[in-house]
Structure 1
């Protein structure tokens, strides 16, 4: 294979895995892995994450697949995992079980997504792009009673709109929050008809641009609805961003994080002679890097080569990035995964070398 074509395929594979994985957290794997050969790598242990249990049989969400039907490029895993993170603040995993949304029917969401002129329940403008893209429901059951005891609703919003002259413009974050509050109020009142006593959490999620294939959307606002109430009692803004590494945007806004990533690229590529595609997606909360997902793509001929690279890259990550940044490192070839290294902010790092 020619060098130019090979590099293109490696880069394409790296970008694809970044899209599929987004910045989601991986549950711990239990398979045995080779012990790291360098002292800079912490002992290999299972990653411990705080997940909800579920109650069988598993029931699918009533609105499954509706986002893809509307041709929106959205990291759906980021939306789902983000809702779980938000839910834990109100419905702790020690007291609640998770269940896919069962209260809001598909037909009801379709009505909400309709344009105002076409349906009395429609919430989208008559012309131009949709404002409300999707509504995702997660349910939480009381562990002891195994009955519905909480709901989380994720409202996916597009910031693109059409002005009076027909030109497309983009809402600011505050403008989109204001629009989302109005929609959320109507949706809560509709849901309350069949669930008058269930506490709810509302999360507003800004979808990425349709042209974006790497950076997921972001949460911009959460609200709480107390039991037996039909109005949102309190709103809390969320300052969340995602940036691609390397990239002009992150270099301009977060030069220090960009510099550290550039150092990581130089170190790994200078240590290994052959070309290595390195792509990162960083999650920033309140202007601070909190999570970094790195995808390294290269062709290797042996497991030992994979092990050496993963150890070296993990050691470089530990040296360059603060311990309060969650790190996900995925090592892959064009066709299959080779290794993972996870460094959580709490607990010990975990490394796994895949076997064919």
Structure 2
């Protein structure tokens, strides 16, 4: 799987969905304005370097929008959404399908699933539920513009309280098994509504409560064939995120940790002013596939920003393997100053904000 989440966020807004502007007319006094019913139409296709889904208009928001405000867990929603779409491309290729936010699973259904799972937990030894949220994505046939596939993302919390009130934690294997049991019940519920399309199931482990930088990670995917109510195949996903620098990444991935430490040290030596630097690395199957670096300092001029970005870009190309997608964001007090993107395929891109 290609890993390019952090560089995508702005492109997704431009490349995936476009907003139709509504024309205005001035009517004589006393006349009512007649509103014509909206009809679906194709959104313009914008050529971008990555493989995005097109969509149809008018745009329809997800039926569960706003539910994240109701729960106490932190969900890195951008990674959840973009990750589901990334994995979905193998099942629902962008050449044959349009994307649409979930239109069939309502808030009431998700609340019922969460309450049912939590009630089941409380009758046993564990006193808190693991199901946090369920996100639906729909995929439409390009020819008919009808529903032809669905993806369900189950957000799961590995932390729970046992019968004595002590905090405990599921292992990844335990979370996978419990997630599979939950998914089986949900698929039967979806099938009861006569939605007989193929379904992709994604199990997503929510991020740690005390971490604001590292997102959650996907731990398993399952597929349900059309007109079937059982998940035919489960596939574990070995995805990890680590903060750079940190003792955790230094212990598990010492080579990548040393490379990052050298990059940070040389960058801070090149300029006399202190440069705060943090990185988030995505590992798939034990391999670093994406690294996002944020460099923060009070720069005196745009020429200094330019010189630093060029210097950092050169170090990135020397220190990090070409199979790693690297995003560098240069900023001052949350004000963006420059970006440098080095994709695995294609040419690098640098931009200085004016």
Same fold flag (TM > 0.5): yes
Residues 261-307 of structure 1: per-residue CA shift (max 9 Å, x gap): 00000111111111101100000011111100000001112221111
Segments of structure 1 that go 5 or more residues without pairing to the other structure are: 1-20, 30-45
Q: Which residue of 2 aligns with 1:231?
A: 230
CA drift of 1:195 comes to 3.6
**1:156-175 to 2 correspondences below 5 Å:** 156-175=155-174
Mapped contact 1:24–1:77 kept (Cα < 8 A): no
CA drift of 1:47 comes to 6.5
Q: Which shows bigger deviation, 209-218 or 130-139? A: 209-218
**1:181-192 to 2 correspondences below 5 Å:** 181-192=180-191
Mapped contact 1:27–1:48 kept (Cα < 8 A): no
Q: Is the partner of 2:346 in helix, strand or coil?
A: coil
Aligned equivalents of 1:144, 1:213: Cα separation in 2: 42
CA drift of 1:211 comes to 1.5
Q: Is the partner of 1:156 in helix, strand or coil?
A: strand
Aligned equivalents of 1:26, 1:64: Cα separation in 2: 19
> Cα–Cα, structure 1 residues 139 and 47, in superposed 2: closer, same or farther, change >3 Å?
closer
Q: Which residue of 2 aligns with 1:7?
A: none
Q: Which shows bigger deviation, 285-294 or 162-171? A: 162-171
Q: Which residue of 2 aligns with 1:135?
A: 134
Q: Which residue of 2 aligns with 1:83?
A: 84
So what's the TM-score if we normalise by structure 1? 0.85
Q: Which residue of 1 aligns with 2:96?
A: 95
**1:56-71 to 2 correspondences below 5 Å:** 56-71=57-72
Q: Which shows bigger deviation, 80-89 or 70-79? A: 70-79
Q: Which residue of 1 aligns with 2:303?
A: 304
Q: Is the partner of 2:138 in helix, strand or coil?
A: strand
Q: Give the aligned CA root-mean-square deviation in angstroms.
A: 1.9
Segments of structure 2 that go 5 or more residues without pairing to the other structure are: 13-46
Aligned equivalents of 1:325, 1:152: Cα separation in 2: 28
Aligned equivalents of 1:149, 1:199: Cα separation in 2: 7
**1:253-264 to 2 correspondences below 5 Å:** 253-264=252-263
So what's the TM-score if we normalise by structure 2? 0.85
**1:19-30 to 2 correspondences below 5 Å:** 23=6, 25-26=8-9
Q: Is the partner of 1:262 in helix, strand or coil?
A: helix
Q: Which residue of 1 aligns with 2:321?
A: 322
Number of residue pairs matched by the alignment: 315
Structure number with greater CO (CA < 8 Å, separation at least 6) is 1
Residues 66-117 of structure 1: per-residue CA shift (max 9 Å, x gap): 1232121221101001001111010011111110000101110011111558
